[in-house]
Structure 1
Amino acid sequence: MSYFVSFSRFLLWSILAAFAGLGTLAAALYLYLTPGLPDAEQLKHTQLQVPLRVYTSDQKLVAEYGEKRRTPIHIENVPEQFKNAFIAAEDNQFYEHQGVSIKGLIRASLELVSTGSIQSGGSTITMQVAKNFFLSRERTFTRKFNEILLALQIEQELTKDEILELYFNKIYFGNRAYGIEAAAQAYYGKSIQELTLGQMAMIAGLPKAPSSYNPLANASRALIRRDWILGRMHKLHFISSEDYNEAIKQPITASYHGATPEVEAPYLAEMARKYMTDSYGEAAYEDGYKVTLTVNSTLQQAAQSAVRAGLESYDRRHGYRGPIATINEIETKSTSAILSNLNTIPTIEALIPGAVLKVSDDIAEILLKNSQTGIIKIAESKWASPYLSVNSKGATPNTITDIVKPGDVIYTQISPEQTEENNNDETKTAIYLKLAQLPQAQSALISIRPFDGAVQALVGGYSFYQSKYNRATQAKRQPGSNFKPFIYLSALENGATAATLINDAPIVFDDDKLESIWRPENSSGKFLGETRLRKALYQSKNLVSIRLLQDLGIKTALSYVARFGFDTNALPHDLSLALGSGTLTPWDIASGYAILANGGYKVKPYFIDRIENANEEILFESTPELACMPCTPEKLAPYSLLHKFTPTPEAFSLALSSPEVEDNTTPAQEIIPTTSQSIHESEIQTPMYDIPSAQRITDPRATYILHDIMKDVITRGTGRRALTLKRSDIAGKTGTTNDQKDAWFSGFNTELATSVWVGFDQPETLGRREYGAAAALPIWIDYMRIALAGTQEHHLSQPHGLSTVRINPKTGKRAQANDTNAIFEIFRTENTPELDSTKPIPSHQEGENTIEITPEEIF
C-alpha cells in the first residue's frame, strides 16, 4: 500500500514537473519570440496587393494589370452562407475561440506522433491570417509558435468580422485569384452575391490546396471536397436537409474567366499603364490604383469598329493574296492533326484561322481553329480576285474553286447569317463564314472634344495584339492637304480673304533649299487660272496653296503654325510646307483641328480624367483649360466639369454679403482671357470660379471664315461623301501625300474633332485613286455616324466684325447691283472688297451653287 502511495506521489510530481517544464519552455519561447514579432496593429492599416485597373469615363473596364487578381470586399457585402461555408471548412469554432483552437492543436499533435509528419496543422482562420500577412509558409515549430502568438495578439486588436474580412481578401484560390471576389469572378464570372450554394462551397474548398481541389484541373477531387463542405454545413445546421440535397446534385459549372475588358481600348490602356508606371513605379501594379480615362465606351467601340471595317474594305478592293499556309494531303489527316496545324496560327480579333476541307462550285467546307465547321459561299466571295499588284488584280472568281482548294489555311470571319438544313430527317444549323485576310495597311483614329481637349476615342492600328505600335501617337507621317487649313488661316489673318484671287497655273521653282528643280502639279493635270481662296481650299489646289505661302512668307507661316503646338523643326522651311510635306503624328493633327473646331482656343489633349487609390481617394483629377469666354456654369453643364472647379474668394464674399443667394447659384462671370485680343473694359467682371480658360491663339473672325470654307469641302469639295451624315454643321479636309502613301481625313463640328490616317507602316503607295476621300473618309464617316447620332447640330457662333456681301466670283470684288452671277462671301469688316467697276457679263459658268467634284490632289 505504501508502495502504491509512493508511486502515485512520484507520478504526480512527475506530471507537475512536466507541466512546469512545458510552462517554463513556453515562457522561454514567449520571451524569446515576442520581441521579434510584428505588431498586429499593422493589420488595421494593411495594404493588399490589388492590380491596376483602367476604366472608360462611363466606368467600363478597359484593362487590368498586375500579377495578383484581387477585388477587395467589405465583410457586410459577403453573403451569410458564404461565411458559413468557410467556417464549416476551415474553423467551425471561429466565433468561440480566442485565436487558437486547443482541440485543433491536440489533434495536429496526435497526427504528428502517429504519422511522423504534420498533417492538418490545427490552424484557425485567425492563425491563417497571421501566417498569410506576417509569416513564411515554411513548416517549422518556430513558425507555428509565432503563428500562435500572433493569432492571440490579433484577437486582442481586431474584431471577428475584421479578421474574417482580412482572410477573405487575402487568401489564394489559384488561377491568379486572391480573395473571394476575385475567385468568384475567375471561376464563375460572377460576383459572390450571385453564386449558388454549391458554387460557394466549391470556392470554400480551394484554400486548403488550390491546385489539388481546383475544379478546372481536378474536377473529381474538387467535387468530393465540395460535397464534404456541404455535409459539414448541414451537420452544423447552417443549411437545411433540402438545401443540402439540392446543392450536392448541382454539376460542376466552373470555367476560367479572365479579366475580360468590357470595351476595346488597348492602345489607350497601354498609354495609361505607361503613365502610371512612370509616375508610381512598380507600385502601380499592386497598390490598387484606378485610372478613369476621358474616353466614352460607345465612341471608343465605334472607333475600333470603323478602323477595322475601313482597313478590311481597303484590303478587299485590292484583291485576295492567297492562303496563309497549306496542309498537304489534308484528306488523309485526322481532325486533331488539322487542329494541331491551325493552333500554330494566331486568331487576330475576329479573324479565325480555318482549313479548307472540301470545295464545290458554290461552297467550301471549313474546319475552324475552335473546332467548329462552317461554309463559305461564292456569293460573298466575289471580291477575292487574285491580287497582282497594288494597282491591279485578276479576274472576278466565278466559283469557289477559283479562290481556294482543299488544304488551304485561310482567315475567316463568322457571318451573322445562319441557316437550318434538313438532312435525313435531322435538322442542323450551318455556320456561315466570310472569306477574310489580315489587312497589311494600317490606320489611326483620334477623336477630341474641342471644348477642353478630352480624348473621346483613340485607335492606334488594326490590332494591338498584332502590333503594339501606336500609330495615333507615334507614327510621324506627312499630312499632305490636311495641313493646308493652317496655312490658309494664317493668310486670312494677314490680309487675305476668301475672295482673294491667286493664279492656279503651272510653276517651276529652282530653289537652293530644294534638292532639284521642283514642278508641283495638280493631280488632275488641270489648271483653273485665277481662283478664289475659298474654291482653292475646298478643291485642294496645290499651286494656289504654294503661291499663297509664297505671298505670306515662310517665316510668317512657320511662326503662325507654331501657335498650334506643331514642332517647326519637323516642318520644311521651304514652299513644300504648303503641301504638308512635313512629318506630324495623327495626335498632332487632331490637336490642331480641335483648336480650329472650338474657334481658336489652344486646348491641350488629355486622356486621363482622374486617378484614385485603393481607398477611392482621388490622387489626381484633370482640370483642363477650357475653350470658353466667359466659362459660365451653363457652358460647363453639358460636359459635367463644374464639380472640378472651386468658387473664388470673391464668390464666397459675394455669397456672404448677399443673403438672397443660396448654394452659390450666382452664374459665373467672364474670366479675363490671356490673349492679345483687346476687351472692352465694361466686359471685364469679377470671376466667380477658378476656371482656367484656354488662350485664344487665332482671330475669331478669320477662324469663322475658315469654318465656313471647310464646310464647302463637305458640300461641294473632296469630302462630299460625308453628306451621307445629313448634317450642315460638319467641316473638314481630305489629305493625300505624294503617290498616295498617306491618306487623311480630319473633320469636326464644335463638339467633336476627329482625324483619321491610313497608310503602310513602311511608306509605300496605297494604290491609284486611294486618296483621303477613298481610304480615310469612310472610316471617319462610320465613326462620326455613331458619335454624332442623336446630337443637335453645333455651329460656331459668328463673332462681331464680319460682313457678308455679294461679290463677283470672277474678280472677287463687290458685285454691282445688276450682277446676276453674284454670290455671297464673308469678310472681316476691314477687308470688305471695293466695288467691281467692270461691267457684269451674264454667265453661268461659275454657279457657286453648282456642285463641283474633282479628284483629290497629289497632296
Structure 2
Amino acid sequence: MTALYFYIKPELPSVAILKDVRLQTPMKIYSQDGQLISQYGVKRRIPLELKDIPEGLKQAILATEDSRFYEHPGVDPIGVMRAFVNLVLTGEKGQGASTITMQLARNFFLTRDKAWMRKIKEAFISWHIEQLLSKDEILELYLNKIELGHRSFGVGAAAQVYFGKDIRDLSLAQLATIAGLFQAPSVLNPISNPSRSRERRRVVLARMLDEGYINRAEFEQAANEDIQAKKHGAEIELDAPYLADMIYSEMVARYGKEEAETGGYQVYATVPSNLQRLAQQATIRNLHDYDERHGYRGPQQQLWQHDTQDQEQGQNPAWTEAQMLEFLATQPSFKPLQPAIVTATEEQQIRVFNQQGQYLDISWDGLAWARPFVSDTSQGDEPKTAADIVKPGALVWIRFNQETAIWQLSQFPDASGAFVALDPITGAVRAIVGGYSFYQSQFNRATQAKRQVGSNIKPFVYSAALDNGFTLASIMNDAPINQWDRKSGVVWRPKNSPEVYDGPIRMRVALGKSKNVVSVRLLRGVGIDNVIQHMAKFGFNPNDLPRDESLSLGSASLTPMEVVTGFSVFANGGFLVTPHVIERIDDEFGETLWQAAPVVAPPAILPSAPVQDASVTAAEQTEQLEPPPQPNYAPAVISRQNAFLTREMMSTAISGGGNWSKKTYWQGTGWRANNLMSRDDLAGKTGTTNDSKDTWFSGMGGNLVATAWVGFDDMSRSLGRTSRNQYLINLNPQKFNWMGNAMVGGEDGARVAQPAWIRFMREALEGVPENYPPVPEGIVTVRIDRTSGKLTQRTDHTSRFEYFIKGTEPTQYVDDEEFIDPFEQDTPVQESEDIF
C-alpha cells in the first residue's frame, strides 16, 4: 500500500485549497432595509455554517451516507469490506465503500467514473483531507458543496428550491427528503420523481430509526407526511428590476461577470423598499391615467366571433375553459396588467376569464372610461353599453385598481415614464424607475434616455443670472420677441404658453410662471457662453448644451438622472454630489467588503471644535480629543446664497403669491403640488417641450429631490390633448383638473409628469419634518414694491419682503408716479405653463 501511495503521489492534487475554498455562490441584491430584489448566477447556493444546519438533517446524512464518519480516518475499512463482499457475490461494483470524505474528494478533485484507479486516488486524497481538516469542517464543506438537483448546490439551496423555506423551518419529512437526494439527485428529487423520492425518504427515515436518532412514532409520522414539494425561485421581496440591473452592471464592471455571479456577494442598495414601491406605483398609475384619458385602443385580438346564429349552427363556437386556460398560459403578464378573455357582456358589465381559471365581473365603473382612441389629440364618443367596448371572445388586459378597489378593463400604456429620487446631501439614489415594465423593455429611461428638458432648464439659467448682477426683484420685460435670423432667413418668435404677456415682471414671478421670453432675455443678458459655463458646474456636459438661444427654453437633451442631480445642488445649498446606488457589498457570510464613502454636502453650520477640559494635561487632551474622521465634502459649485435664492423662486412656482382679493395673487405652474400637499418646504419646476413631446417635473421637499419624466419612446410623437370625458370627471370630481385621469386640454409637464411626483412625495414625506434651508449669511431682506421691485414704505398688499445678496438690494424707493395698485387694475389672473 505504501509503495502504491508513492507511485501515484505525483498525480494526487493538493488538498490545501480546501482550507480557503470559495464555493460558487450567486450574487444577491437587497434593498437598503434588507429585502431581496434579485439573484444572479446559474448555481443556487446558500452557504451555511455547521451550527446553522438542523441536527435532524446531519443525523439523516450520517445515517444514510456514512454512519461511522466520526470514527474512521477518511476510508472506512468496514465499508470497503462490505463493498468487496458485494463484488465477489454479484460481480458488480457498488457505492458502499464511499465515505463522506471520499465523496467530498470526488466532488472537488475527481470524476464519477467507477474505475479502480479513481477509487484508489479517492482514498489517498481522503486521507490527505482528514489530515488537513477537522471532521466538522469536512461535514460542513460536504453539505454546502454537493449538487442536489434543479441547479441547487448544498442543503441550504435545496431547502429553498424544493420547499421555498429556510432550512431551519423544515419538518423531519422534508429534511429526510433532502438527505435522500445525496444518492442520486436527478432521479430521487420530489419534483421530477415524487414516488421514488417518497421511497428514498422512507429508507432515510428507516436508517435514522436504526441508528436511534428517531423513534417509531416519529418515523411513521414523517414517512406518511405529504410534503407538497414544488420548484421555488429566489424569494423576491421587492420586484425592482431596473434597479437590480443597474447594480448588476456595476458589479460586473467592478469584478467581472463570472466573479460577480459566483462570488457570493450580497449587495445592498441605497434604496429603501418603501420608497421604491412608492415610485413604481406612482409611475405606473400616472401612465395609466394619461393613457385612459386618451381612450381605448381595443382588445389585443378577437379569439372567436360572437354571433348567436353561427354558434347555434355549431360554427365558430365559444372556447371551452380548457382551451382558454391553455391559450392564456402562453400569454405574458406585466404587473399590474394580466391577460383575460371576455366570456360574456351585459348592459353595463362584462365577465372575463383569467390565467388562474377564475371568472371576474367588471362593472361599469371599470369600463366606462374606454371611449375609443382616435389619435393622440382626439377621442371618440363615450360608450353607452359594454358592447360598445368589447365583445365575447376578446383577449384584453385587466388590472386591479388599488385606489378604487375594483377590477377594470385596461391596456398597456403607449407612453413611457421614468422617475428618480435622490438624497441631495449624499447623492444616494432613494428610488428609480426606468419604465412601465422591465420585462417588456429593458431600456432604462432614467439613466439612458436623453430627452429635451423644456423649462426644467430655467432654474439653471436664472441661477446664472443671479451670479451676473440680477436679483429676484429685477424687472424683466415679458413681451413678445421677434428676431431675424440671417442664416435661416426666418424670424424666431419664442412664445409664452399660454400666449399671455404680463409686461414688466419680477424675476421671481417670471420663473414661477415659467415665462419663456423672460428666460430668453436673461440668457441674452448673461451671455450664452457664461450660461453654459455656469450649467457645467451642475454636472451637465457642455457638449449636450446647444450654443444658441433655444438653450434658455430647454432644447438641451439630458437624462432624468442628470436633471435630478442638477436640482440636488439647489436642494443641498450649492454642492455637487454624485448619484450612487450601492451602499455596501458583503461576502456570503455577511462580512462587509466595501462600503460607500460618497462626497456629501456639508451642513449649513459646520460643527465647532470640542471644548477642552482645563483639568487634564495636554497629552491627555491630545489623546481624548483626537478628531473624528472628517467627512469627504462635495465641491461647492455655486454659493449658498445663489442656491437659496434659486430655490426661493422655485418655491413660488408651487405656492404662487399675492392676495386674491386685492388682485395681486398669481399661480405658478406647479400649483397642484401646493393644493395636494400641506408642506411649506416644497420647491420645483415643470417642463414641457415643443408639441408636448417631453414632459417633466423636478422638485424637492423634506430629505428628497426627485424628477419625473413622461413621453413616448418614439420621439416624433406628441403627448397630444384630451377632450372632456364626463365619466372620468364624475369618478374623480375632487381631483378634476388637479391630478389623475380626468384632466382636459393640452398635455404638459404639470398635467402629465407632476402627478407622479406628487403621488410619490406625498407618501414619501409623510411624517418627515419640513426642511426649508436656513437663510445663509450674506442674505438680507427688504420690503419692495410688487410692481416695480423698488423699495417701498407701504405695508399693504402692494408690497412684500424679498431676499437679496447683501449689496444687491435696491436703493431707490418707488415714487408716486411709478406706483401701481393692482386692485385698481382690470387684469385677470392667468395660470401659465411652459413650452419652448
Same fold per TM (> 0.5)? yes
Given that residues 417 and 445 in structure 2 are in contact (C-alpha distance below 8 angstroms), is that contact kept between their aligned partners in structure 1? Answer: yes
In structure 2, the residue matched to 1:787 is 764
**1:432 Cα deviation from its structure 2 partner:** 6.4
Which runs of no fewer than 5 residues in structure 1 stay unpaired? 1-25, 419-430, 635-646, 669-687
**1:629 Cα deviation from its structure 2 partner:** 5.1
Task: Render the CA deviation track for 1:639-672: whole Å, top value 9, x for unaligned.
Answer: xxxxxxxx99x99xx99946479875x8x6xxxx
Is it true that 1:765 corresponds to 2:740 in the alignment?
Answer: no
Is it true that 1:509 corresponds to 2:483 in the alignment?
Answer: yes
Is it true that 1:274 corresponds to 2:249 in the alignment?
Answer: yes
In structure 2, the residue matched to 1:421 is none
Compare relative contact order (CA 8 Å, sep 6+) and give the higher one, 1 or 2. 2
Query: 2: CA distance between counterparts of 1:375 and 1:104?
Result: 67
In structure 2, the residue matched to 1:13 is none
Give the 3-state SS of the residue equivalent to 1:462 in structure 2. coil
Query: 2: CA distance between counterparts of 1:46 and 1:742?
Result: 53
Give the 3-state SS of the residue equivalent to 2:29 in structure 1. strand
- Select the residue among 810, 816, 819 that pairs with 2:787: 810
Given that residues 16 and 132 in structure 2 are in contact (C-alpha distance below 8 angstroms), is that contact kept between their aligned partners in structure 1? Answer: yes
Task: Render the CA deviation track for 1:262-304: whole Å, top value 9, x for unaligned.
Answer: 2122112111111111221121111112222211111111111
- Select the residue among 300, 319, 335 that pairs with 1:324: 300
In structure 2, the residue matched to 1:305 is 281
Task: Render the CA deviation track for 1:821-858: whole Å, top value 9, x for unaligned.
Answer: 222222122111121234465623499xx995514122
- Select the residue among 182, 204, 224 that pairs with 1:207: 182
Give the 3-state SS of the residue equivalent to 1:456 in structure 2. strand
**1:74 Cα deviation from its structure 2 partner:** 0.5
Given that residues 744 and 758 in structure 1 are in contact (C-alpha distance below 8 angstroms), is that contact kept between their aligned partners in structure 2? Answer: yes
Residue identity matched to 1:362: Q
**1:520 Cα deviation from its structure 2 partner:** 1.1
Is it true that 1:232 corresponds to 2:207 in the alignment?
Answer: yes
In structure 2, the residue matched to 1:422 is none
In structure 2, the residue matched to 1:680 is none
Query: 1: CA distance between counterparts of 2:618 and 2:10?
Result: 62
Query: 2: CA distance between counterparts of 1:140 and 1:434?
Result: 66
Given that residues 787 and 820 in structure 2 are in contact (C-alpha distance below 8 angstroms), is that contact kept between their aligned partners in structure 1? Answer: no
Given that residues 631 and 691 in structure 1 are in contact (C-alpha distance below 8 angstroms), is that contact kept between their aligned partners in structure 2? Answer: no
Query: 2: CA distance between counterparts of 1:31 and 1:179?
Result: 34
- Select the residue among 144, 151, 164 that pairs with 1:176: 151
In structure 1, the residue matched to 2:689 is 737
In structure 1, the residue matched to 2:642 is 702
Query: 1: CA distance between counterparts of 2:617 and 2:67?
Result: 61
Given that residues 494 and 517 in structure 2 are in contact (C-alpha distance below 8 angstroms), is that contact kept between their aligned partners in structure 1? Answer: yes
- Select the residue among 554, 562, 566 that pairs with 2:528: 554
Aligned 1:172-571 pairs, distance under 5 A? 172-281=147-256, 282-328=258-304, 331-414=317-400, 433-512=407-486, 516-571=490-545
Give the 3-state SS of the residue equivalent to 1:733 in structure 2. strand
Query: 1: CA distance between counterparts of 2:88 and 2:57?
Result: 35
Given that residues 572 and 582 in structure 1 are in contact (C-alpha distance below 8 angstroms), is that contact kept between their aligned partners in structure 2? Answer: yes
Given that residues 683 and 700 in structure 2 are in contact (C-alpha distance below 8 angstroms), is that contact kept between their aligned partners in structure 1? Answer: yes
Query: 2: CA distance between counterparts of 1:464 and 1:738?
Result: 28
- Select the residue among 794, 798, 801 that pairs with 1:824: 801
Given that residues 809 and 846 in structure 1 are in contact (C-alpha distance below 8 angstroms), is that contact kept between their aligned partners in structure 2? Answer: no
Give the 3-state SS of the residue equivalent to 1:525 in structure 2. coil
Judging changes above 3 Å, is the alpha-carbon distance between structure 1 residues 377 and 633 closer, same or farther for their aligned structure 2 residues? farther
Residue identity matched to 1:836: V
**1:138 Cα deviation from its structure 2 partner:** 2.6
Residue identity matched to 1:263: L
Given that residues 818 and 840 in structure 1 are in contact (C-alpha distance below 8 angstroms), is that contact kept between their aligned partners in structure 2? Answer: no
In structure 1, the residue matched to 2:737 is none
Given that residues 454 and 834 in structure 2 are in contact (C-alpha distance below 8 angstroms), is that contact kept between their aligned partners in structure 1? Answer: no
Query: 2: CA distance between counterparts of 1:124 and 1:167?
Result: 11
Given that residues 366 and 406 in structure 2 are in contact (C-alpha distance below 8 angstroms), is that contact kept between their aligned partners in structure 1? Answer: no
Given that residues 686 and 834 in structure 2 are in contact (C-alpha distance below 8 angstroms), is that contact kept between their aligned partners in structure 1? Answer: no
Give the 3-state SS of the residue equivalent to 2:696 in structure 1. strand
Give the 3-state SS of the residue equivalent to 1:471 in structure 2. coil
Given that residues 819 and 840 in structure 1 are in contact (C-alpha distance below 8 angstroms), is that contact kept between their aligned partners in structure 2? Answer: no
Bigger mean CA offset, 72-81 vs 815-824: 815-824
Query: 2: CA distance between counterparts of 1:495 and 1:630?
Result: 24
Query: 2: CA distance between counterparts of 1:762 and 1:656?
Result: 73
Judging changes above 3 Å, is the alpha-carbon distance between structure 1 residues 784 and 662 closer, same or farther for their aligned structure 2 residues? farther
Query: 1: CA distance between counterparts of 2:9 and 2:783?
Result: 95
Given that residues 356 and 366 in structure 1 are in contact (C-alpha distance below 8 angstroms), is that contact kept between their aligned partners in structure 2? Answer: yes
Given that residues 427 and 577 in structure 2 are in contact (C-alpha distance below 8 angstroms), is that contact kept between their aligned partners in structure 1? Answer: yes
Give the 3-state SS of the residue equivalent to 1:199 in structure 2. helix
Task: Render the CA deviation track for 1:417-444: whole Å, top value 9, x for unaligned.
Answer: 99xxxxxxxxxxxx96321111111111
**1:323 Cα deviation from its structure 2 partner:** 0.8
Judging changes above 3 Å, is the alpha-carbon distance between structure 1 residues 183 and 656 closer, same or farther for their aligned structure 2 residues? farther
Task: Render the CA deviation track for 1:364-419: whole Å, top value 9, x for unaligned.
Answer: 2212123232222222211111111111212222222221111110111246799x
Judging changes above 3 Å, is the alpha-carbon distance between structure 1 residues 851 and 794 closer, same or farther for their aligned structure 2 residues? farther
Judging changes above 3 Å, is the alpha-carbon distance between structure 1 residues 436 and 828 closer, same or farther for their aligned structure 2 residues? same
Query: 1: CA distance between counterparts of 2:766 and 2:634?
Result: 28
Equivalent pairs: percent with the same residue?
A: 43
Query: 1: CA distance between counterparts of 2:352 and 2:270?
Result: 42
**TM-score when normalising by structure 2:** 0.89
Give the 3-state SS of the residue equivalent to 1:735 in structure 2. strand
Given that residues 820 and 842 in structure 1 are in contact (C-alpha distance below 8 angstroms), is that contact kept between their aligned partners in structure 2? Answer: no
Judging changes above 3 Å, is the alpha-carbon distance between structure 1 residues 128 and 223 closer, same or farther for their aligned structure 2 residues? same
**1:28 Cα deviation from its structure 2 partner:** 4.6
**1:817 Cα deviation from its structure 2 partner:** 3.9
Give the 3-state SS of the residue equivalent to 2:484 in structure 1. coil
- Select the residue among 651, 654, 676 that pairs with 1:711: 651
Judging changes above 3 Å, is the alpha-carbon distance between structure 1 residues 655 and 362 closer, same or farther for their aligned structure 2 residues? farther
User: What count of residue pairs does the alignment treat as equivalent?
Assistant: 784
- Select the residue among 674, 680, 687 that pairs with 1:728: 680
Query: 2: CA distance between counterparts of 1:415 and 1:478?
Result: 32
| Larger Rg over CA atoms | 1
Aligned 1:497-646 pairs, distance under 5 A? 497-512=471-486, 516-628=490-602
Task: Render the CA deviation track for 1:727-780: whole Å, top value 9, x for unaligned.
Answer: 000100000111000010001036211001111111111112211111111101
Give the 3-state SS of the residue equivalent to 1:211 in structure 2. helix
**1:250 Cα deviation from its structure 2 partner:** 1.3
Judging changes above 3 Å, is the alpha-carbon distance between structure 1 residues 61 and 551 closer, same or farther for their aligned structure 2 residues? same
Given that residues 180 and 200 in structure 2 are in contact (C-alpha distance below 8 angstroms), is that contact kept between their aligned partners in structure 1? Answer: yes
Query: 2: CA distance between counterparts of 1:655 and 1:188?
Result: 64
In structure 2, the residue matched to 1:152 is 127
Bigger mean CA offset, 404-413 vs 478-487: 404-413
In structure 1, the residue matched to 2:663 is none
In structure 1, the residue matched to 2:815 is 837
Query: 1: CA distance between counterparts of 2:797 and 2:447?
Result: 51
Query: 2: CA distance between counterparts of 1:858 and 1:467?
Result: 29
**1:139 Cα deviation from its structure 2 partner:** 2.7
Query: 1: CA distance between counterparts of 2:402 and 2:414?
Result: 25
Residue identity matched to 2:225: Q
Given that residues 655 and 661 in structure 1 are in contact (C-alpha distance below 8 angstroms), is that contact kept between their aligned partners in structure 2? Answer: no
Judging changes above 3 Å, is the alpha-carbon distance between structure 1 residues 249 and 34 closer, same or farther for their aligned structure 2 residues? same
**TM-score when normalising by structure 1:** 0.87
Query: 1: CA distance between counterparts of 2:683 and 2:249?
Result: 34
Give the 3-state SS of the residue equivalent to 2:483 in structure 1. coil
Output the aligned Cα RMSD.
Answer: 2.6
Judging changes above 3 Å, is the alpha-carbon distance between structure 1 residues 68 and 513 closer, same or farther for their aligned structure 2 residues? farther
Residue identity matched to 1:613: D
